[in-house]
Amino acid sequence: MTTSENRAATEPAVQGTPQGALEFRLLDHDSMGLIVPLYVSVFNAEPWNDGWHPMVVLERLQAFAQFPRFECMVLLCDGQPVGAVLGWGERWVNSWVFHIKEMFVDSAQQRQGYGRCLFEAFEVYLRLKGFTGAYLQTGEAAPARQFYERMGYERFNVVSLRKRFA
């Protein structure tokens, strides 16, 4: 069995393809409220259990939207947000790369192809905007890690460190 066959045998397959009328929409600072309920429902549920309050989420997302070269794409199905991806551009030596800060899909809609659909459309959009690549961070054991690896993202030799101030 090859490495890719082995990986395919151990990772659950996508159970379906997106259903319904799909629409991609770009959001800015003033339209972040559209995805606040989705953000709260995803990140306050398993496996994250973060405890977000809608007003704090709105403040967080609007702060991100003030970054230069901020981009946010939401996937709507039958007019309702089912997923979003957002972040900002960062200048490197020879090009601009994109830092994906958040990517989330409605927990009830996961494993149905919505995340892949959104992520692929966002990557096409980023290429058209002149970005030469993207990077992101996720937890070592986070379920999202396998998704990102299936999307072609590779481990990068970077360590995240933090310090809590008393």
- Report if residue 110 sits inside a domain: yes
The domain total for the chain is 1
- Report if residue 4 sits inside a domain: no
Q: Contact 37/54 with Cβ under 8 angstroms?
A: yes
pTM for this predicted structure: 0.86
Structure tokens at 20: 């319904």
- Report if residue 120 sits inside a domain: yes
- Report if residue 11 sits inside a domain: no
For each of the chain's 166 residues, which pLDDT tens digit applies? 333 333 333 333 445 678 889 999 999 999 999 999 999 999 999 989 999 999 999 999 999 999 999 999 999 999 999 999 999 999 999 999 999 999 999 999 999 999 999 999 999 999 999 999 999 998 888 888 899 999 999 998 888 888 999 8
**Residue 71: left (phi > 0), alpha (psi -120 to 50), or beta?**
beta
Q: What is the CATH number of the domain that holds 84?
A: 3.40.630.30
- Report if residue 75 sits inside a domain: yes
φ, ψ dihedrals at 12, nearest 5°: -65, 140
Q: How many C-beta atoms lie closer than 10 Å to residue 101's C-beta?
A: 17
Please give the residue range of the domain that contains residue 52: 20-150
- How far is it, in rounded angstroms, from Cα 1 to Cα 9? 10
Structure tokens at 57: 């989420």
- Report if residue 100 sits inside a domain: yes
